[in-house]
Amino acid sequence: MYNEYYGLVRAPFEMTPDPSFLYLGEAHREGLATLVYAVNSGKGFVMLTGEVGTGKTTLLHALLGQLDAKTNSAFIFNPRLDPLGFFRVLFEELGIGPACESKAEYLLTLNRYLIERLAAGERVLLIVDEAQNLSAEMLEEIRLLSNLETPTSKLIQIMLVGQPELQALIDKPELRQLRQRIALRHHLRPFDEEELAEYVEGRLEKAGYTGRGVFNKRALRELYRVTQGTPRLINVVCDGAMLLGYARQESTVGPDAIREVARDLGLVPKDEAEEDEVHKEPARASRRRSLRRFFRFGR
Ligand SMILES: Nc1ncnc2c1ncn2[C@@H]1O[C@H](COP(=O)(O)OP(=O)(O)O)[C@@H](O)[C@H]1O
Ligand SMILES: [Mg+2]
């Protein structure tokens, strides 16, 4: 709703992994390069971890966009499936039909499909997102898939993507067979302060902004402090702060607006928030309350 006010043609901080907003700073460029390398070199098993909202799923979409027609990929993002459900989704994703009756039948059919693809000079890639939610049973199934190989090459490449808990899951002693197969691991870090500034400015630009900057330097510093460089949080806070700026008819956002939104979102520790509250004079506090009401009902 604030787009027009800031001279934008589309929303700058949407929560979708829209590839036209892709920003490749060092962290994400490195992550993407690792994934591309893993696929191209037939590494077998690869793991990508990162905290919630750091951009793992966004990177996967970017990867899928870079793969050529010789790569058949299956993207599974609901890993709370049982083995039969998992195979059903895998077959749908790869366009193998019809559905089978049993796991053994699925495995036989899959093996045949993989050998055909190899003969055609193609690759098959299985990506499991949110893999920290996989059950031990499913992890074992996936490990067994990686047994599908010819004497000279792997038939399927598997990419497990998830939150840092995935690392802990894989490190369990009973999963050592799986662990030993992981040829490549990468941990996606959040943005540093410089990347954060480039990211925010880049998104505004892609949304059509041509002004002299919505967020001033101190606002960006505060933004880094409250989000620790996590893209998803940056989006939420920027969106809220721009809405607040619009409500106040202030075309530049300062650190106070960032702090205010961060507090409403619970990103700032409570004692810090209270301390801030005490120092506000009553008139300002009441103005803030009405703005907050606007903020809540305004969209
Ligand atoms: N490199 C990036 N370029 C552009 N937007 C990004 C990037 N990384 C993250 N985002 C934004 O942050 C949001 C959260 O990222 P996401 O990939 O869903 O994180 P994760 O899967 O790690 O939880 C995305 O919807 C997207 O808007
Ligand atoms: Mg994700």
* Residue 69 pLDDT greater than 70, yes or no: yes
Q: Of 175, 235, 177, 173, which Cα lies nearest the Cα of 203?
A: 235
* Residue 157 pLDDT greater than 80, yes or no: yes
Ligand 1 mutation pick, 23, 57, 58, 159, max ligand atoms within 8 A of CB: 58
Kindly list the protein residues that place their beta carbon closer than 5 angstroms to ligand 2, a single-atom ion: 56-57
Residue 175: C-alpha distances to residues 88, 139, 140, 180, 240 (Å): 24, 8, 8, 9, 43
**Residue ranges of the domains in the chain?**
26-188, 193-297
What is the average pLDDT across 154-158? 92
- Judge if the beta carbon of residue 163 lies within 6 A of ligand 1: no
Q: Report how far ligand 2's centroid is from the alpha carbon of 58 (Å).
A: 7
Q: Give the integer Cα–Cα distance in Å for 11 and 140.
A: 43
pLDDT at residue 154, rounded to an integer: 85
* Residue 294 pLDDT greater than 70, yes or no: no
What is the average pLDDT across 135-160? 89
Counting ligands in written order, the one closest to the CA of 130 is 2
- The string of DSSP letters for the chain reads --HHHHT-SS-SS-SS--GGG----HHHHHHHHHHHHHHHTT-SEEEEEE-TTSSHHHHHHHHHHH--TTEEEEEE------HHHHHHHHHHHHT--S--SSHHHHHHHHHHHHHHHHHTT-EEEEEETTGGG--HHHHHHHHHHTT-B-SS-BS-EEEEEE-THHHHHHTSGGGHHHHHHEEEEEEE----HHHHHHHHHHHHHHTT--SS-SB-HHHHHHHHHHHTT-HHHHHHHHHHHHHHHHHTT-SSB-HHHHHHHHHHTT-S-HHHHHHHHHTS-HHHHHHHHHHHHHHHH--
pLDDT tier for residue 298 given thresholds of 50, 70 and 90? very low
Q: Report how far ligand 2's centroid is from the alpha carbon of 55 (Å).
A: 7
Q: Report how far ligand 1's centroid is from the alpha carbon of 165 (Å).
A: 19
Ligand 1 mutation pick, 203, 232, 233, max ligand atoms within 8 A of CB: 232
Q: Is the dihedral of CA 269, 272, 278, 279 positive or negative?
A: negative
pLDDT tier for residue 269 given thresholds of 50, 70 and 90? confident
Q: Report how far ligand 1's centroid is from the alpha carbon of 17 (Å).
A: 6
Counting ligands in written order, the one closest to the CA of 15 is 1
Pairing between β-strand 45-50 and β-strand 182-188 as defined by DSSP bridges = parallel
Q: Give the integer Cα–Cα distance in Å for 39 and 114.
A: 16
Calculate what percentage of the chain has a pLDDT beyond 70.
Answer: 90
Give tens-digit pLDDT for 11-53. Answer: 999 988 888 999 999 999 999 999 999 998 888 899 999 999 9
Sequence-distant (≥ 6) Cβ neighbours of residue 256 within 8 angstroms: none
CATH number for the domain whose boundaries are 193-297: 1.10.8
Q: Report how far ligand 1's centroid is from the alpha carbon of 28 (Å).
A: 10
Give tens-digit pLDDT for 159-184. Answer: 999 999 999 999 888 888 888 889 89
Give tens-digit pLDDT for 223-255. Answer: 999 999 999 999 999 999 999 999 999 999 999
* Residue 275 pLDDT greater than 70, yes or no: no
- Judge if the beta carbon of residue 73 lies within 6 A of ligand 1: no
Protein residue closest via CA to atom 24 of ligand 1: 17
- Judge if the beta carbon of residue 232 lies within 6 A of ligand 1: yes
Q: To the nearest whole number, what is the mean pLDDT of the chain?
A: 90
Contact between 161 and 38 (Cβ < 8 Å)? no
pLDDT at residue 146, rounded to an integer: 86
pLDDT at residue 100, rounded to an integer: 94
Q: Is the dihedral of CA 190, 16, 129, 64 positive or negative?
A: negative
pLDDT tier for residue 91 given thresholds of 50, 70 and 90? very high
Q: Which CATH class, in words, describes the domain spanning 26-188?
A: alpha beta
The tokens for 112 are 């045949």
Q: Give the integer Cα–Cα distance in Å for 114 and 116.
A: 5
Q: Give the integer Cα–Cα distance in Å for 151 and 143.
A: 18
pLDDT at residue 78, rounded to an integer: 83
Least confident stretch, 55-64, 114-123, 146-155: 146-155
Counting ligands in written order, the one closest to the CA of 59 is 1
Q: Of 23, 14, 49, 46, which Cα lies nearest the Cα of 188?
A: 49
Q: Report how far ligand 1's centroid is from the alpha carbon of 57 (Å).
A: 7
pLDDT at residue 49, rounded to an integer: 97
